[in-house]
Amino acid sequence: MSSPLRISIAKANLATATRLADLGRQTFAETFAASNTPEDMAAYLAATYAPDQVLAQLQDPHCTYLLAEMQGQAVGYAQLWQYSRLGLAADAPATKQLEIKQLYVVEDWIGTGLGKALMRRALDIAQAEGCTAIVLGVWEHNDRAQAFYQRFGFREIGETAFKLGTDVQRDLILRKGLAGRP
């Protein structure tokens, strides 16, 4: 029997953008609402998950959204960028390293292997595109996600500021070298 999980590259249309924006808003709130003020959360959600903004990202040739569905229900997603400056010197140009900007699984599905399936697809894309590494930022207090990334061999290489509403938070920069690179 085939698996009910389907992971596809999201198409660039407004309906998909709206679906991803809803999913992004829901999963970000599920993960971080308890650790932030309602005002900061509202400001961040409004600024980040507008369907028009997500549509523009879907139309950008350097951006890929992976959408995970279980029997037609959206249960997780990842937002990937083929070029990134994350972890590089301040004046360095973006290089071909895949940045995972967002990786989220709906609360009820956490711990069921969905995150792993999304990460494997991201790794496949990075390899196929000839990226030298995968990089990402993770909140310093997001222990669950850090443990997950560690399982895939990511290591800490620095830190960066992440603005959530008015609150400036500390994200750790994690990197996993590809194609035999450290």
Ligand X SMILES: CC(C)(COP(=O)(O)OP(=O)(O)OC[C@H]1O[C@@H](n2cnc3c(N)ncnc32)[C@H](O)[C@@H]1OP(=O)(O)O)[C@@H](O)C(=O)NCCC(=O)NCCS
Among 18, 95, 132, 142, binds ligand X (CB under 6 A): 142
As measured in angstroms, the least distance from the Cβ of 38 to ligand X is 19
Q: DSSP labels for 82-132?
A: SSB-TTS-TTPPPBS-EEEEEEEE-GGGTTSSHHHHHHHHHHHHHHHTT-S
19-58 residues in contact with ligand X (CB under 6 A) are 31
Q: Which residues pair with 81 in a beta bridge?
A: 63, 99
Closer Cβ to ligand X, 91 or 142, answer by number: 142
Closer Cβ to ligand X, 48 or 142, answer by number: 142
Q: How far apart are the first and last CA of the chain?
A: 39
Candidates 42-50, 54-62, 127-135, 140-148; binding stretch for ligand X (CB under 6 A): 140-148
> Which tokens in the block code for residue 32?
């971080």
DSSP state of 36: S
As measured in angstroms, the least distance from the Cβ of 175 to ligand X is 14
As measured in angstroms, the least distance from the Cβ of 62 to ligand X is 20
Binding mask 97-136 for ligand X (x = CB under 6 A): ------xxx----xxxxxxx--------------------
Instruction: For residues 139 and 83, give the distance between their C-alpha atoms in angstroms, rounded to a whole number.
Output: 21
Closer Cβ to ligand X, 92 or 147, answer by number: 147
Whether residue 68 contacts residue 108, with contact meaning beta carbons closer than 8 Å, is answered with no
Instruction: For residues 69 and 151, give the distance between their C-alpha atoms in angstroms, rounded to a whole number.
Output: 24
Closer Cβ to ligand X, 12 or 165, answer by number: 165
Residues at the site binding ligand X, with contacts judged by CB under 6 A = 31, 103-105, 110-116, 138, 142, 144-145, 147-148, 151
